[in-house]
Structure 1
Amino acid sequence: ELGVRYVLEGSIRKAGSRIRVTTRLVDAATGRQIWAEHYDRDVADVFLVQDEIATSVCEAIQPRVERSERERAARKAPERLDAWECFHRGMWHLANTEAEEIAKARGFFARAIQLDPQFARADAALAQSYLNEVTIFRPDLRNVNVPQALEHARNAVKKDTTDAAAHAVLARALWMLGSHEESLAEADLAVSLEPNSAVAYGAQGGARLWGGRPRDAIKPLQTAMRLSPFDPLIPLWLHYVARAHYLAEDYAASIRVAQQLRHSFPHFRPPYNTLLAALGQTGQVDEARIVFAEALERFNEAFRTYLSLPLNELRELRAEDREHVISGFRKAGLVA
């Protein structure tokens, strides 16, 4: 009757100075419950309680709605998708960390833009697809992909200046081009525009990490993962956390996070570099050789070239950060 896809229902009960707020998110078409929670609070400061519960509910339902939309779009025939559904179908493909999935995702994002030329979020997602391809699979495409990502990110911001996701992906494109101050500004703006946006906090953490503030990067990255625990960008954010610990010279923490990634997302290549460098810094040469052999088996001989990438390709790293990573490789006996 309301013409909506999701309904957020709630009730409140009071006993003395205590209240219980119960809320649930429902798929309006099927009646399926997507999420439910209850909150027990003291009503001494009722306005503070209102704000706290509203924020908690917003943080909880946003990632679940997005996940539900991706799954719904994946079940629908491609020729029947509208622009919004094309966008979510693309996000569904982008969530699958396989090289061929990125091309499929890009096709749906392009179609979404064709169906709705003012759809800023589709442009932002298209930019993300180009950056993911460089970061995860094809660093050799940096000179081609990053400028294209920057163009789509700027288009997204131009179409909707209030879209936090657009500013977040623009921040990511900028740090990959070495424009760190502008990247930090865009990431901070993304967080201010949408304080419950996981991608905004992820961009803020990344901008701080690659901009020379690794210790300040960890908290926003942890916030991003708390806000969206099932986000497709979780492996990337964990990679940033591992590298932040490394650049902050907390090698034990870096190894712990990188090992977690190695076991949970074994086909995600970027953290292997951080893990090898951190093992070298801590003198664990034998373990580094085991990890290196595993990486060669998993990613083929091409992985050897990645050990030189901080010198040749990862130009978003500052010179001192590049040397820091390479020194770990040297101590692990992996480069001369």
Structure 2
Amino acid sequence: VLPFAGKSDGEQDFLANGISQDIITELSRQRDFLVIAPQSTVGYGSGAGEAGIAARDLDVRYILAGSVRRGGDQLRVAVQLIDASGDRCVWAERYDRLAQDVFDLQDEVVTRIIANIDAEVRAAERESAARKRPENLDAWELFHRGMWHAYRFTRDDHQLAQGHFERALELEPGFSLPYAGLAYVCLSAVTWHFTADVGQTLGAGIAQAEKALALDAGDAFSHVVLGRLLTFIGERPRAAHHLSMAIDLSPSFAQAYFGMAQLHFWSGRPREALHHIGQAVRLNPRDPLGSMFMTLQSFCHYWLDDFAAAEAAARRATALNARETWSRLGLAAALVALGRAEEARTVIAEARRMDQGLTVASFDAVVGQVPDDLRQRVYSALRQAGLS
């Protein structure tokens, strides 16, 4: 993180220095990032043109450069994330805010920047690993290649993801993240109906996530995966512990808030679930699980009898990921509640074409721990829409 540029007056220099220092502090909490100490970057300029020099001298791949400018009561913070290995800008953003309370402003902007860095670096690593030949990948790259496949949510990609995680462990048996990846494969297999034995698959996933945390108890992703798996089997206190740990370890990790939203939904608290979904979307609107964020939002609105909002959220979910079926189940339930059963039948027919094994029973195998009153309402709606 290069020193942020500010005009040479005391207030802007103070804010520029504070923002760059806070970014370093928060990034250092991400256990799988190596972040250069601020003392090592003092001698470099603040502009993006310094990125290549700093990256070469400090042996890093990513450089964050930024500036702070103030005009009257308006403050502008601009940032660029640069991948020095390809001399390209991965992400850039500008934040315009009222400069009324400098410390609240600093906290807000830093939170937004950290969320975007975390998301964009991981996305860039997945894309980079996906472009390389598999035989040239190291364990870190194999993990990200595996996640690239896992986030595509197809049966074939699911198997490829598992193979990459297993290969990563062959190269580095003490590396925690591939175990978390294998746990995520189990979670994905249950979610997308890739397994005939839901209970056995959830148990296997929990065992893999626990191995990951035994190797690195400070990894937020492992806590999230374990928390979500525990939610599926109804172990809510343990799930809450791990999801809370994930948020404490990585306050900008959108999937941690989605996991907490699932836990609240499974616990019969749709309003609290909506709050956490809102946080997840705010932190990473382009998250690979974005369609699931919207689908859960749809079911929350359905539970609260806001069927128009449920329909709108489900349609946003299908727009984000046209291949997945869960959003179509939420959409069909909302349409039935709105008196549009014929439209709902068309939606269910589309879902069945994508997943021929989709039935009310297969749906129940995944959401069986959701409170019975909501499940029966949804099942009734789905049967009216033609799902047997």
Indicate the larger mover: 287-296 or 306-315: 306-315
- Structure 1 residue aligned with 2:328: 272
The residue number in structure 1 matching 2:285 is 229
Question: Partner of 2:65: helix, strand, or coil?
Answer: strand
- Aligned amino acid, residue 316 of structure 1: Q
Asked if 1:161 is matched to 2:217, the reply is yes
Distance 1:332 1:266 in 2: 19
User: Please, which of 373, 382, 387 is the counterpart of residue 320 of structure 1?
Assistant: 373
Alignment check: 8 A CA contact 2:332 2:344 kept: yes
Cα distance, 1:105 vs. partner? Answer: 0.8
Cα gap change, 1:296 to 1:54, in 2 (>3 Å): closer
Separation of aligned partners in 2, 1:163 and 1:280:
42
2:264 corresponds to 1:208: yes
**Counterpart position of 2:337:** 281
Per the alignment, residue 131 of structure 2 pairs with 75
Q: Note if 1:141 corresponds to 2:200.
A: no
Q: Give yes or no for contact 1:175–1:211 (8 Å, CA) kept in 2.
A: no
Aligned alpha-carbon RMSD (Å): 2.3
Instruction: Give the AA of the match of 2:112.
Output: S
Deviates more, 1:132-141 or 1:207-216: 132-141
Q: Identify the residue that residue 169 of structure 2 maps to in structure 1.
A: 113
Assess if the C-alpha contact under 8 Å between 2:75 and 2:97 holds in 1.
yes
Q: Deviation of residue 184 (structure 1)?
A: 2.4
What is the match of residue 307 of structure 1? 360
What TM-score results when the alignment is normalised by the length of structure 2? 0.78
Distance 2:72 2:191 in 1: 55
Q: Percent identity?
A: 36
In structure 2, the CA distance between the partners of 1:264 and 1:50, relative to structure 1 (3 Å rule), is: closer
In 2 relative to 1, CA 329–5 (structure 1 residues): closer, same or farther, beyond 3 Å? same
Structure 1 window deviating more from structure 2 (324-333 vs 96-105): it is 324-333
Question: Partner residue of 2:178?
Answer: 122
CA distance in 2, matches of 1:88, 1:329: 37
Is 2:315 the partner of 1:262?
Answer: no
Deviations 1:142-171 (A, max 9, x none): 123111111111122222222211111111
Residue 19 of structure 1, CA deviation: 4.9
Residues 18 and 40, structure 1, Cα contact 8 Å, conserved in 2: yes
Counterpart AA for 2:115: E
Whole-Å separation in 2 of the counterparts to 1:34 and 1:286: 45
In 2 relative to 1, CA 141–8 (structure 1 residues): closer, same or farther, beyond 3 Å?
same
Q: Which amino acid aligns with 1:64?
A: E
1:207 Cα offset (Å): 1.0
Deviation at 1:137, TM superposition (A): 3.2
Report deviation, 1:42.
Answer: 5.5
Q: Quote the Cα distance in structure 1 between the aligned partners of 2:300 and 2:102.
A: 39
Distance 1:226 1:269 in 2: 24
2:294 aligned partner = 238
Q: Is the 8 A contact 2:291 2:318 kept in 1?
A: no
> What is the DSSP-based 3-state SS (H/G/I as helix, E as strand, rest coil) of the residue aligned with 1:140?
coil
Deviates more, 1:58-67 or 1:307-316: 307-316
SS of alignment partner, residue 308 of structure 1: helix
Instruction: Give the Å deviation of 1:109.
Output: 1.3
2:239 counterpart of 1:186: no
Q: Residue 325 of structure 1 aligns to which amino acid in structure 2? A: V
What is the match of residue 54 of structure 1?
Answer: 110
- Relative to structure 1, the CA distance from residue 332 to residue 116 in structure 2 (aligned partners, 3 Å threshold; closer, same or farther) is same
Where structure 1 has 5 or more consecutive residues not aligned to the other structure, the ranges are none
Which ranges of structure 2 fall in alignment gaps of 5 or more residues? Answer: 1-56
Q: Deviations over 1:113-139 (max 9, x none)?
A: 232233222222221111112111325
Offset, 1:95: 2.1
1:291 offset after TM fit, Å?
Answer: 2.0
Taking the TM superposition and a 5 Å limit, the aligned residue runs for 1:19-38 are 19-38=75-94
- Using the alignment, how far apart are the partners of 1:311 and 1:112 within structure 2? 34
Preserved contact between residue 176 and residue 316 of structure 1 (Cα < 8 Å): yes
Relative to the length of structure 1, the TM-score reads 0.89
* Per-residue Cα deviation, 1:56-86 (whole angstroms, up to 9, x for no partner): 2112221111111111111222112111111
SS of 2:60's equivalent? coil
